[in-house]
Amino acid sequence: MIAVIDYGVGNLFSIQSSFEKIGAEVVITSDKKIIENADRIMLPGVGAYADAAAKLRASGLGEIVKTEMKKGKPIMGICLGMQLLFEKSYEYGEHEGLGILKGEVIPMKGYIDKGLKVPHIGWNGLRIERENRLLKGCKEGEYVYFVHSYFATNCTDSRIASVEYGKGLTAAVEKDNVFGCQFHPEKSGEVGLRILQNFCNIR
């Protein structure tokens, strides 16, 4: 069973629907016992980093996720949920993340070419940078759907794929039992469903 962590940011109906589509048992929860009993954990997230990080801290859910991660349970973050796995973010100030992965989150503005629009919205191709489990079966250049204005950097030990948007931006990460996508697999058609299936297959 997959526990999708509900900490009050964004709507989780799409994520729930996508797991149901691939036949996975999924529960949207903020209950410590259910999270502890789950086989794997999904950390979703849309919106502002500071707000989400504060909610994870205040609810104690951040600590629970960390504890479960240390036990070896597969954890996956999506979009802001992935960014929260890192040490910190420079989204409107400097904010501490969960520190599960090494690296930090910085704005695209000032990093990518001035002519490019921010947020980076739309379907873009994945560049797979090293062998991994999360993107198994995905071809080079496979299209996935992105919506973001910030991206993870200094994360060479976990980065498995990038996306070309002026520069190569971190698109997916994997380190032991911790996984993350900057894009939205639940909105990336067949390719996205395959990635979610890969996460469900991690033992």
Partner 1 sequence: MITKRIIPCLNVRNEKVLPAGTGEGAFHAQSPIELALKYVEQGADELLFYDLSTSAEDRKAFMKMMQMVTRSVFIPLTVGGGITKLSDFERILACGGDKVSVKAGAVKYPHLVEEAAKKYGDQCVVLTTDVKMVKGAYHVFVHGQDTGLDAIEFIRRSVGNGAGEVVVNSLNTCGGKGGFDLPLMRKICEEVTVPVIASGGAGTQEDFARLFQSIPKIDAALASTAFHFEDVKIDELKNYLHAKGLNVRHKL
Kindly list the residues in this chain that would bind partner 1 in the complex (CB under 8 A).
10-11, 13-14, 17-18, 20-21, 46-48, 117-125, 139, 141-143, 145-147, 164-165, 184, 186-190, 192-193
In whole angstroms, how close is the CB of 133 to partner 1 at the nearest point? 21
99/166 with CB nearer partner 1: 166
90/145 with CB nearer partner 1: 145
Cα–Cα distance between 144 and 185 in angstroms, integer? 7
State the catalytic residue, choosing from 68, 174, 184, 200. Answer: 184
In whole angstroms, how close is the CB of 4 to partner 1 at the nearest point? 14
State the catalytic residue, choosing from 68, 79, 174, 200. Answer: 79
In whole angstroms, how close is the CB of 67 to partner 1 at the nearest point? 30
36/51 with CB nearer partner 1: 51
CA R_g for the chain: 15
Q: Which residues pair with 128 in a beta bridge?
A: 161
CA distances from 51 to 43, 88, 97, 149, 175 (A): 15, 13, 11, 16, 26
User: Is 186 annotated as catalytic?
Assistant: yes
In whole angstroms, how close is the CB of 47 to partner 1 at the nearest point? 5
Query: In the numeric block, which tokens belong to residue 191?
Result: 């390719």
* Closest alpha carbon to 6 in 33, 32, 35, 28: 28
User: Is 79 annotated as catalytic?
Assistant: yes
* Closest alpha carbon to 104 in 147, 167, 40, 159: 159
Cα–Cα distance between 145 and 147 in angstroms, integer? 7
70/117 with CB nearer partner 1: 117
With a CB cutoff of 8 Å and minimum separation 6, the contacts of 91 are 48, 49, 50, 105, 107, 150
Catalytically active residues are 79, 184, 186
